[in-house]
């Protein structure tokens, strides 16, 4: 038998907006997805979803 992977979710709303803003800032500053995923304990796919999502943070910087 193989090992069973258990997913333990973090608390919802635990500063996600702030975290996502920091991820976007770091990404726009040239950080790689792999490093951001490791730093923020997310998958690369989750980080990619955050940086590709249109947000108020991006529009603020494009003005």
Q: Can you give the pLDDT at residue 14?
A: 60
Q: What is the pTM of this model?
A: 0.65
* Chain mean position to CA 17: 10
Q: Are 27 and 21 in contact (CB under 8 A)?
A: no
| Stretches in the chain below the pLDDT threshold 50 | none
Q: Where are the alpha helices (DSSP H) in 4-43?
A: 16-28, 33-39
Q: For residue 45, give the H/E element and its range.
A: helix 44-52
Q: Could you report the per-residue pLDDT of 4-20, keeping only the tens digit for each? A: 888 777 666 667 889 99
DSSP state of 39: H
pLDDT score at 61? 58
Tokens of residue 25, six digits: 């800032």
């Amino acid at each position: 038998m193989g090992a069973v992977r258990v997913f333990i979710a973090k608390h919802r709303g635990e500063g996600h907006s702030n975290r996502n803003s920091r991820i976007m800032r770091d990404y726009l500053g040239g950080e790689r997805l792999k490093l951001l995923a490791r730093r923020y304990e997310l998958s690369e796919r989750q980080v990619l979803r955050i940086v590709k999502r249109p947000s108020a943070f991006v529009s603020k910087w494009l003005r």
